[in-house]
Structure 1
């Protein structure tokens, strides 16, 4: 069974770009969602089926949700999930510190660059 990766980003192009980069790194089962409601739903489903996610790429800049609040909710549900935060202007020192405090494994700036994603992903 391949590791499962969950990508939460409200921009289809960004999800596709990240998925393509991850496909170059190795073989994974990749599930894409575009908002927090879908993210929580997928985490609950995976727990029920016993096929839990190994990794989550969470965009901080979701249209209708605060990425840090969503991160806190996810962390309560899945304390061992390896989480990477992504974003553009939202990757501030303050948000990075909050992410570190919540156990985030890495940070990826957008637009995604293959070399950077590979480096942070392989470091975990």
Structure 2
């Protein structure tokens, strides 16, 4: 099913802690896993105008629920849902400090929902 090199609490309740995310996972049903927690992500890109270079940088925090289901043959289906918050989004001149920004965006928290399928070509084949 799922390989879990994470810290085990009691039974099949696991803590997954990395710099970008903190999740508590629990295996459910025969081939499923439910996770609760928070993931951080960022968006960054450059804008060029004449001889000026600006950067836009945005930090996103997604808190919610993830359900993963093993579909067999190294395939995994994933459903994610929760709240997305953006605590900081700024555009600034690349030659200046991040604190001396040109533009700052403020967003309200919003609902998100993702559906995905992933394939692991290096996964072990299922033993019948």
Give the TM-score normalised by structure 2. 0.23
| Larger Cα-atom Rg | 2
More helix by share: 1
Give the TM-score normalised by structure 1. 0.23
* Structure possessing the higher relative contact order (Cα contacts under 8 Å, 6 or more residues apart): 1
